[in-house]
Amino acid sequence: MEQDMNRRELLKDTGKFVILSGAARVAFKTMQGETVPEPEKDKYKAAEHWWGMTIDIDKCIGCGNCVKACAAENGVPDGYFRTWVERYYVSDDHPEKPEVDSPNGGMNGFPVMDRPDAKSFFVPKLCNHCADSPCVQACPVGATFESPDGVVLVDQKYCVGCRYCIQACPYGCRYLDPRKNVVDKCTLCYHRITKGLTTACVEVCPTASRQLADFKNPNDPVHKFMRENHVEVLKPHLATGAKTYYKDLDGSVR
Amino acid sequence: MPGVDGFMYPNEVELQWSILIVLYPYLTGLVAGAFILASLARVFNVKEVQPTYRIALLTALAFLLVAPLPLQLHLGHPERSIEMYLTPHKTSAMAMFGFVYLWYLLIVLLMEIWLDYRKDIVILSRTKTGFMRLVYRILTLGSQNISEESRRVDDRVGLIVTIIGIPSAFLLHGYVGFIFGSVKANPWWSTPLMPVVFLFSAMVSGIATVLLVYQVVNKLRGQPVHMFCLDAIAKYLFYVFVIDFSLEMLDLVHRIYESDESFRSLDFMVHTKLYFSQIILQIMLGTLVPLVLLGANQVMKFGESTRRKMYTVAGILTMIGIFAMRWNVVIGGQLFSKSFLGYTTYKVEFATREGLLPAIALLLLPLGILWVLLKLLPPGEEEQTA
């Protein structure tokens, strides 16, 4: 009996709360309508952009913030990388045989190594968002594609998990997500850049080594960057149309 | 990192294509090879291999039915594989496999077998009783006409199908080679020779399969194993093998002489991780020994039982050698980093979806299917009833 009473009271109180909070919502909405303009729908026009990235090798300090931020932002599974940082040691005796390491993708930085006999530098890597992507060419069902704004994406609801694209990528940028059994890769934070934000890796880079570039935007600093520096893409002989440009890339980098 | 020497791009440490993908070109190759041997009898009228005609066709069918299974088992989402037919991506070398496969299965192989067996099927549908009668009645596809005239039509259409079948068999396996040969990111695979090498190695393995299957099947069925037939198959095996080996050596010599950026890496691999499977299994045991055994028979005269033993040993070693070749292509192509700075390891799992156990099952399954096919469509029936 007492329980019944309590239930009735609870129902009454809940009813009041629902009505009041509903009213509050309406009031808030009205207020919002007056002060904050509604965001324009479909403001982002893919045809007006052509995305890529620039990386200034000399500015990278190998802190691994980009790798951490990418993993956190995109839920990258442990042991796999949408972006990673490599450390090169190139000796003057054997410039064609560099020593490279990337412990856990460089996520936690690098152990100190004193090597006076060699030059050393860091090379951040990510999907090159190639304009003539071998991975897109290889996909048997068209699950991976180039967006009109130049980003190579995977439709994970469509991917059959054959992994032909992983074989086709010359840069090792793709992996099979063991949780979903579909291919995953860098999306250039497509969910962010289409809202006017930059990528997670660029956001956290303390030295601004990485820069998101919109080649179709005449005001983007990338144009000045490309004009005034020696830039190169990775494995240019493969003619993949890579759009990740490195400033002062050493010839030993693969 | 365990299993890694030197530097691999971090995502490369894990191998993507397992032993199941080794089986795929292996099984497809056997199909193409067995079919081409059958066409020797049919189109080129090579009388000596006539006794193997039907066995070769049924062997090809048994292996063809199993060929897509390892692929299916390997997919991350097997339930989506139908998309390859519904929404094929036309620039993808892999997307066309389904169509080449279906063309080959439905238009070439099933049609040729049906036309060739039609008379037997009609007779069986009249003589058998119960359930089997129903099965054969269905297999007649409603055609009961086995007049001389209709048989002549069967023969003519069958010949046309076989003539279309030969380039189709070439296409089927050359195409499998192209799937690998067109990957420019991978220097171990990327060569225009790949489809040609795949094709000739397919013929080698298919002929070797028929050489073995013919002996076993006819022993089990209490039918004679004709020595003239074995001699002819062994002769063809030898000639095709010489071409295949020359092509593979051409590839090797070319790589060594050109020594491009990948050479140091690939050379190291052949001397270490691939030494056993490439040098010992593929080249020495799987190629040179069978070539010597088969070649000796072309220049010397051995006794019948010695010849039989030499052919059988050569056949078995050939099958192992071609399997090793597929292994070295598929697995070998994934052991080195595309940075050419390091190597990873492939550990075969056992009782997992892509492990050794399903691989063995998939290798045995065609033999089971072949047994059923031989029961259903006895190859000797024509001689007995005609």
At B257-290, the pLDDT tens digits run 999 999 999 999 999 999 999 999 999 999 999 9
Residues 191-220 in A contacting B (C-alpha not used; CB under 8 Å): none
Q: Is B279 exposed, middle or buried (0-12, 13-18, 19+ CB in 10 A)?
A: middle
Task: Give the span between the Cα atoms of B153 and B134, in whole angstroms.
Answer: 25
- Which element (helix H / strand E) includes B326? helix B304-330
At B80-90, the pLDDT tens digits run 999 999 999 99
Would you give the end-to-end CA distance of chain B in angstroms? 68
At B314-352, the pLDDT tens digits run 999 999 999 999 999 999 999 999 999 999 999 999 999
**Contact, B205 vs B322, CB < 8 A?**
yes
What is the average pLDDT value for chain A, to the nearest integer?
A: 90
Scanning A50-206, the segments in alpha helix (DSSP H) are 65-74, 134-138, 164-168, 190-193, 200-204
Verify whether the Cβ–Cβ distance A161 to B77 is below 8 Å: yes
Residues 129-158 in A contacting B (C-alpha not used; CB under 8 Å): 134, 136-142, 158
**Contact, B174 vs B199, CB < 8 A?**
yes
State the DSSP code for B88.
-
Task: Give the span between the Cα atoms of B210 and B38, in whole angstroms.
Answer: 9
Verify whether the Cβ–Cβ distance A238 to B185 is below 8 Å: yes
**pLDDT at position A18:** 54
Which ipTM was obtained for this model? 0.94
Between the alpha carbon of residue A135 and those of residues A93, A166, B241, the distances in Å are 36, 7, 35
What domain range is B140 assigned to? Answer: 5-385
Task: Give the span between the Cα atoms of B87 and B95, in whole angstroms.
Answer: 9
**Contact, B146 vs B122, CB < 8 A?**
yes
The region of weakest confidence among A57-61, A114-118, B183-187 is A114-118
**pLDDT at position A54:** 98
The mean per-residue pLDDT over the stretch B299-315 comes to: 97
As given in the structure block, the two tokens for residue B98 are: 């389904």
pLDDT at residue B247 above 50?
Answer: yes
Task: Give the span between the Cα atoms of B349 and B356, in whole angstroms.
Answer: 6
Verify whether the Cβ–Cβ distance B94 to A164 is below 8 Å: yes
User: Within its chain, how far is the Cα of A40 from the centroid?
Assistant: 25
The mean per-residue pLDDT over the stretch B131-150 comes to: 95
As given in the structure block, the two tokens for residue A72 are: 């956190």
Verify whether the Cβ–Cβ distance B7 to A166 is below 8 Å: no
Q: Which fold has domain A46-132+183-247?
A: Alpha-Beta Plaits (3.30.70)
At A123-157, the pLDDT tens digits run 999 999 999 999 999 999 999 999 999 999 999 99
Domain count, chain B: 1
Residue that wins the pLDDT comparison between A129 and B171: A129
The mean per-residue pLDDT over the stretch B198-208 comes to: 97
**pLDDT at position B283:** 97
Confidence tier at B385 by pLDDT (50, 70, 90): very low
Confidence tier at B114 by pLDDT (50, 70, 90): very high
- Facing residue for B338 by CB, picked from A138, A172, A176: A172
pLDDT at residue A22 above 50?
Answer: yes
Ramachandran angles phi, psi of A168, nearest 5°: -80, -20
CATH code, domain with B308:
1.20.1630.10
Task: Give the span between the Cα atoms of B53 and B382, in whole angstroms.
Answer: 12
**pLDDT at position B29:** 95
**pLDDT at position A113:** 86
pLDDT at residue A31 above 90?
Answer: no
The candidate with the shortest Cα–Cα distance to B336, out of B21, B22, B17, B12, is B12
**pLDDT at position A8:** 58
Verify whether the Cβ–Cβ distance B10 to A238 is below 8 Å: no
As given in the structure block, the two tokens for residue A94 are: 């054997």
Verify whether the Cβ–Cβ distance B338 to A170 is below 8 Å: yes
A176 interface with B at CB cutoff 8 Å: yes
**pLDDT at position A1:** 41
**pLDDT at position A194:** 97
The candidate with the shortest Cα–Cα distance to B329, out of B96, B21, B35, B10, is B21
Confidence tier at B69 by pLDDT (50, 70, 90): very high
As given in the structure block, the two tokens for residue A111 are: 């152990």
**pLDDT at position B381:** 42
The mean per-residue pLDDT over the stretch B242-252 comes to: 97
Task: Give the span between the Cα atoms of A54 and A201, in whole angstroms.
Answer: 12
- Facing residue for B10 by CB, picked from A99, A105, A183: A105
A164 interface with B at CB cutoff 8 Å: yes
Verify whether the Cβ–Cβ distance A141 to B88 is below 8 Å: yes
A108 interface with B at CB cutoff 8 Å: no
- Chain A residue numbers with beta carbons less than 8 Å from the beta carbon of B71 are 162
- Facing residue for B7 by CB, picked from A100, A141, A171: A100
pLDDT at residue A5 above 70?
Answer: no
Task: Give the span between the Cα atoms of B344 and B330, in whole angstroms.
Answer: 14
Distance from A63 to chain B by nearest Cα, in Å?
A: 17
- Chain B residue numbers with beta carbons less than 8 Å from the beta carbon of A181 are 76-77
B2 interface with A at CB cutoff 8 Å: no
- Chain B residue numbers with beta carbons less than 8 Å from the beta carbon of A170 are 184-185, 338
- The structure's pTM equals 0.91
Residues 318-347 in B contacting A (C-alpha not used; CB under 8 Å): 333-334, 337-341
Contacts of residue A121, Cβ cutoff 8 Å, sequence gap at least 6 = A57, A58, A60, A87, A88, A250
**Percent of chain B with pLDDT strictly greater than 70:** 98
The mean per-residue pLDDT over the stretch A217-223 comes to: 97
pLDDT at residue A23 above 80?
Answer: no
Verify whether the Cβ–Cβ distance B80 to A102 is below 8 Å: no
**pLDDT at position A2:** 45
Would you give the end-to-end CA distance of chain A in angstroms? 78
The candidate with the shortest Cα–Cα distance to B245, out of B211, B276, B282, is B282
List the single residue in A with minimal CA-CA distance to B93.
A138
At B122-136, the pLDDT tens digits run 999 999 999 999 999
**pLDDT at position A115:** 84
User: Within its chain, how far is the Cα of B82 from the centroid?
Assistant: 24
pLDDT at residue B54 above 90?
Answer: yes
Confidence tier at B384 by pLDDT (50, 70, 90): very low
pLDDT at residue A36 above 70?
Answer: no
List the single residue in A with minimal CA-CA distance to B71.
A162
Task: Give the span between the Cα atoms of B310 and B325, in whole angstroms.
Answer: 22
At B204-223, the pLDDT tens digits run 999 999 999 999 999 999 99
Pairing mode of beta strands A182-184, A210-214: unpaired
What is the average pLDDT value for chain B, to the nearest integer?
A: 95
